[in-house]
Structure 1
Amino acid sequence: MLDICISNGWLDSAISTVILLQQIIQGRWYWDHPLMCLPALIDHSIDGIGPYLTIPQLQAQYDIDKKDRKLNQQETTKIVKEITSCTILDEREAKQVIDALCHWPILSIKSTFLQNGLMECPVNLDNLNAQPIVLQPYKRYKLRLKIQMLGPNKNNTQAYAPRFHKEKTASWIIFIGDKEKNKIHGFTKCSPIESFRDVRINFISPSMPGNYTLSVFILSDSYLGIDQEYAIRCKVQN
């Protein structure tokens, strides 16, 4: 189904298909609260932790994204106390939440470059005040992303999916597309990432001259709530 969407350039349908896959792997609905993917959490506990928090925000709140090793006993105990003080979870359940947070992947884009043959120039992602990059109409380019995995589980590619009873590695799907026109301009399937990876995405620039905002979508094939989206301003001219 995903291949059909990609071959026809249907951006919305392709993203919806990936989200469907995420729901199957995690055994949750996309519209559920994102923290419901964590073990032992119910609505009441989520209200205590933070009703508007996502899993990446909760990882940042507990500084898990800054750890390059397993949490020690002191760090674990500190977080357990924080969780049990604001929820009805007991110590064992709080440790299950911490274990899941440490397993949930943390993907960071360190740098981005546009490649045109042997030429390469840096690209500012999501800086709408930056000068637009200039592209020629209907020409093939490459976007190079330097990706870094963070956190204590950065070298583990096994998906954390307790409701999916088969082994699954966590891969990534990246689209470059135009949301306004619902069109895919480029895509790649990225195998599981350990620590660092340079990822190159081939894409074709829009065929008509004008100003565009192309979106870069970095989607997990296994996890809900950690997808990333960036905007790139482009000016297509002859």
Structure 2
Amino acid sequence: NGWLSLALLAMEVSQMVTQGLWERDSMLLQLPHFTKELAKRCQENPGKNIETIFDLVEMEDDERRELLQMSDSQLLDIARFCNRFPNIDMAYEVLDGENVAAGENITLQVTLERDLDGRTEVGPVDALRYPKAKEEGWWLVVGDTKSNQLLAIKRVSLQRKAKVKLDFTAPADTGKKSYTLYFMCDSYLGCDQEYSFTVDVKDAAAFDEED
């Protein structure tokens, strides 16, 4: 099927609706007290362009203060948002990846761990333009970008840690096959992750001979 690009678009639309922004807008406009003019100034910052929440977090305090030109209370609001913005480490592996036969199941195991920065739990989404409280959610997706195939999809709720398995079927033809793993947020722009991986699909007859 050709559902991959459509599914990813739907996830991106969910982010845009929650934050009240278009994809072309600066991700920095999710932050409190930010204007388009300030976002532009950040993007043109001498030395290093500040385009994402993570870019802003990595700045030295005095440099950030000078760039933003905000009051202490406004800077505190910015800090609160940045502390709650999802910062998630992700690792993955194809289980028994050396023994994948054509037409058989492939299992991808994904490990997720959130940096809570001293917090004990994940609060509601920070969304200035959204009319009600919303809990953060995620999707894990495996796709074949060449054929636009959506091969596996799973909804994930993540507090601190999670281990998730995604199953999909190897193609009937053998050889090295390229896939993409997506980790998509439903609420924030700029925290999605994307990884490419390959699986060497072997002739099922070879495994029968070994048996």
Matched, 1:54 2:52: yes
Aligned pairs (5 A) from 1:1-238: 8-51=1-44, 52=49, 53-59=51-57, 61-62=58-59, 79=61, 81-109=62-90, 111-115=91-95, 120=96, 135-152=100-117, 153=119, 155-191=121-157, 193-238=158-203
Distance in 1 separating the partners of 2:143 and 2:162: 22
- Report deviation, 1:40: 1.3
Q: Which has the larger radius of gyration?
A: 2
What TM-score does the superposition give when structure 1 sets the normalisation length?
A: 0.75
SS in 2 for 1:102: helix
Q: Which residue of 2 aligns with 1:5?
A: none
For the 8 Å contact 2:53–2:82, the answer to whether it is kept is yes
Distance in 2 separating the partners of 1:181 and 1:106: 31
- Report deviation, 1:197: 1.1
Distance in 1 separating the partners of 2:88 and 2:120: 9
For the 8 Å contact 2:116–2:160, the answer to whether it is kept is no
Are residues 83 and 56 of structure 1, via their aligned partners in 2, closer, same or farther at CA, if it must alter by over 3 Å?
Answer: closer
Distance in 2 separating the partners of 1:215 and 1:57: 25
Distance in 1 separating the partners of 2:171 and 2:187: 31
2:78 alignment partner AA: V
SS in 1 for 2:15: helix
Ranges in structure 1 where 5+ consecutive residues have no aligned partner = 1-7, 63-77, 122-132
- Report deviation, 1:88: 3.3
- Report deviation, 1:11: 0.3
- Report deviation, 1:48: 4.2
Moved more, 173-182 or 163-172: 163-172
**Partner deviation per Cα, 1:189-213 (whole Å, 9 max, x = no partner):** 112x111111111222223223221
Ranges in structure 2 where 5+ consecutive residues have no aligned partner = 204-211
- Number of residue equivalences: 197
- Report deviation, 1:56: 2.7
Runs of 4+ in 1 over 4 A off after TM superposition: none
Aligned CA-pair RMSD: 2.1
SS in 2 for 1:83: helix
For the 8 Å contact 2:27–2:190, the answer to whether it is kept is yes
- Report deviation, 1:89: 2.4
1:55 alignment partner AA: I
- Report deviation, 1:32: 0.7
